[in-house]
Amino acid sequence: MTEVTVDTIFEALETSGQVQYGTEPITELEHALQIADIADEMSGDEEMILAALLHDIGRVAVRQDEISDTLVPDHMGKTKDGSKGHDAAGAELLSDYFSDRILAGIRMHVAAKRYLCTVEPKYRDKISGGSETTLRMQGGLMSDEELEKFRATPFSEDAVQIRRWDDMAKIPGKPTRPLEHWRDMMSRHMQK
């Protein structure tokens, strides 16, 4: 994806309906649509809904052999020079197009998982096997210094919220509204 438009984003998400979401029993698209519905029901906040819908865009619109925390077979956990996690890659892809808050939700949702696993041991017990596997690729638990830095970063609380919804959005066969439902909202929030 070179120029990013609502159409190119939708195309990437649509295509991700053919791709399994890591090791979870649903597709990437089902996961995105489930979390968008949850964000809508629980917050009704458009920036949070879009951050939720787009949080894993780095898994579906960026070449996965350039991603360091992918579970795509053959690339699992292989880190090439300059490769980054799907969180950073997704936020970078969309950096010119969405608000700082939306981008922070995308960029920080993995850090939010590391944060929650560190401060809430019970949270870690509940995450899926796939999330546990990627946690190790993503740096594992946070040091005290990392915890402090995370808390001080703008929108970290939003990222924690998105991360909690992320874990709820892995239900096989759950009905959702279609992707098209979110088109107008995304158009309104795109900055170019």
Q: Whole-angstrom distance between the N-terminal and C-terminal Cα of the chain? A: 15
69 makes contact with Fe ion (CB under 5 A): no
- Count of residues that bind Fe ion according to CB under 5 A: 2
Q: Compute the least distance from the CB of residue 76 to Fe ion, in Å.
A: 17
Q: Compute the least distance from the CB of residue 31 to Fe ion, in Å.
A: 6
Contacts with Fe ion, 23-62, as mask; x by CB under 5 A = ---------------------------------x------
> Two tokens at 37?
């519905």
166 makes contact with Fe ion (CB under 5 A): yes
Cβ closest to Fe ion, residue 55 vs residue 75: 55
CB neighbour class for 187 (10 Å; exposed up to 12, middle 13-18, buried from 19): exposed
Cβ closest to Fe ion, residue 105 vs residue 150: 105
> Two tokens at 166?
């992320």
Angstrom CA distances, 187 to 10, 14, 17, 30, 153, stand at: 11, 17, 21, 21, 27
Measure CA 72 to chain center: 16
92-111 binders of Fe ion (CB under 5 A): none
Q: Which chain residues interact with Fe ion by CB under 5 A? A: 56, 166
